[in-house]
């Protein structure tokens, strides 16, 4: 029978900082680690003040609870405040072992009693403390991710509501794709509100930035817009009132928002389009694809002024109006440094393959094609509304 060779497991070399003012105890710790042939690099500080300057790169701190400048649990609290990702083990005497239990309750990973530790036990305790600290940090990160995702879900309900409409003369298809890590929402928003039997108000907006603050502001703007529409505020005044909300609620003066709003007159088969620094809607009708030729005003929040209105008449009862945020068209095309832009979007919609896609799936198809051309996921959030009448094309 031949013996199997066992490959030894290489342990991570750890850096340990001993904070101990007693030279004899410090010598003993060093000897115990040497005796156990532990893969540790040991540094020694005699005061908490000295220890603060030696924490960089340290995996574990072995702290005596009786220092000249920090006594007992108070000293531990001061160290934990600056220890960062370093694990902390405390050293206690036999007569004050209760302090070790209190230290763990305060945030230390473990405690050891002087005179009751050999090299193997010390080595194991330090390594376990490092692993527990890492596990605690991973759990904390997981909790933070869960909290952010729960926050994102709450914001989503505010940014991306169900259309408030009862008419069956048009169909509305919505789409949202986050461009942020972890799938968290940015400041893109949309809404649809029906007033009366034949009038439909539609908005798509984008608050500059990609954080939670921008998402919360987007929610406020969306809710304010819906309230203004339902209150019967004249169409010409709605975006001006929305701008007042933006300027009142934003966290910094440089925050602005772009908006595309459309008021659809279903009885007259026409619409009024208002653009505030936003890319124009794209109209699909009679087999043709073309951006709506609407005058574009200044973004909301920079220099308040009325947003120009452009009237659009639809030819026939088969058409679709695509409204979107600029995250859809800011990706690259794969040709030099060109971006997709509005003309590129028009080209995608004009492809024969696009006509074979059901209207409900068209927004997702467009994002897929844009990501393919971009060579990967789009960097910014994408929100889309597709309003269709008849067969929509």
Q: What's residue 210's pLDDT?
A: 72
At 216 the pLDDT is 85
Report yes or no: 344 and 366 within 8 Å, Cβ to Cβ.
no
pTM: 0.66
Query: Cβ distance 214 to 220 under 8 Å?
Result: no
In degrees and rounded to multiples of 5, residue 267 shows phi and psi of -70, -40
Question: Structural domains in the chain?
Answer: 14-139 (3.40.50.2300), 160-389 (3.60.40.10)
Q: What is the 3-state secondary structure (H, E, C) of 34-59?
A: HHCCCCEEEEEECCHHHHHCCCCCCC
The long-range contacts involving 248-251, CB below 8 angstroms and separated by at least 24 positions, are 249/217, 249/220, 250/217, 250/301, 251/213, 251/217
- The confidence score (pLDDT) of residue 140 equals 84
Q: What gap in Å lies between CA 64 and CA 82, rounded to an integer? A: 16
Task: Answer whether 313's CB lies under 8 Å from 294's CB.
Answer: no
**pLDDT number for residue 12:** 82
pLDDT per residue over 64-121, tens digit each? 988 888 888 999 999 999 999 999 999 888 777 788 899 999 999 999 988 888 888 9
Sign of the C-alpha dihedral computed for residues 343, 347, 350 and 353 taken in this order: negative
Block means of pLDDT (10 residues each) for the chain, 393 residues, are: 46 90 90 88 93 94 90 91 93 81 92 88 91 88 73 64 92 84 68 96 92 84 95 96 96 94 97 97 95 96 94 94 96 88 95 94 95 90 94 87
At residue 158, the pLDDT reads 61
Per-residue pLDDT, 335: 84
């Amino acid at each position: 029978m031949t013996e199997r060779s066992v490959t030894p497991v290489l342990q991570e070399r750890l850096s340990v900082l001993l904070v101990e003012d007693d030279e004899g105890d410090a010598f003993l710790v060093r000897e115990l680690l040497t005796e156990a042939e532990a893969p540790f690099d040991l540094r020694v500080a005699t005061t908490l003040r000295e220890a603060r300057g030696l924490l960089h790169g340290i995996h574990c701190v072995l702290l005596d609870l009786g220092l000249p400048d920090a006594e007992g649990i108070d000293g531990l609290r001061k160290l934990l405040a600056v220890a960062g990702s370093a694990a902390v083990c405390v050293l206690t005497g036999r007569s004050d072992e209760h302090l070790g239990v209190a230290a763990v309750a305060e945030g230390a990973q473990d405690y050891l009693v002087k005179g009751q530790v050999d090299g193997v036990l010390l080595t194991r305790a330090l390594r376990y403390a490092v692993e527990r600290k890492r596990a605690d940090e991973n759990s904390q990160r997981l909790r933070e991710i869960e909290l952010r995702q729960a926050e994102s879900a709450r914001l989503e309900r505010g940014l991306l509501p169900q259309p408030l409409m009862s008419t069956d003369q048009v169909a509305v298809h919505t789409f949202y794709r986050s461009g942020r890590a972890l799938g968290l929402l940015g400041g893109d928003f949309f809404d649809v509100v029906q007033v009366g039997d034949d009038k439909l108000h539609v908005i798509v907006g984008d608050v500059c930035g990609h954080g939670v603050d921008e998402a919360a502001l987007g929610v406020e703007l969306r809710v304010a817009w819906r309230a203004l529409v339902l209150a019967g505020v004249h169409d010409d005044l709605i975006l001006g009132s929305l701008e007042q909300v933006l300027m009142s609620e934003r966290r910094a003066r440089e925050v602005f928002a772009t908006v595309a709003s459309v008021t659809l007159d279903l009885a007259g088969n026409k619409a009024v389009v208002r653009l505030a620094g936003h890319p124009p809607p794209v109209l699909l009708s009679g087999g043709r694809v073309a951006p709506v030729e609407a005058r574009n005003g200044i973004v909301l929040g920079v220099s308040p002024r009325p947003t120009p209105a452009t009237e659009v008449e639809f030819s026939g009862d088969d058409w679709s109006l695509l409204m979107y945020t600029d995250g859809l068209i800011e990706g690259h095309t794969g040709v030099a440094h060109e971006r997709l832009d509005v003309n590129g979007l028009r080209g995608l919609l004009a492809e024969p393959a696009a006509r074979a896609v059901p209207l409900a799936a068209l927004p997702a198809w467009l994002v897929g094609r844009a990501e393919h051309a971009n060579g990967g996921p789009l960097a910014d959030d994408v929100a889309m509304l597709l309003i269709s009448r008849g067969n929509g094309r």
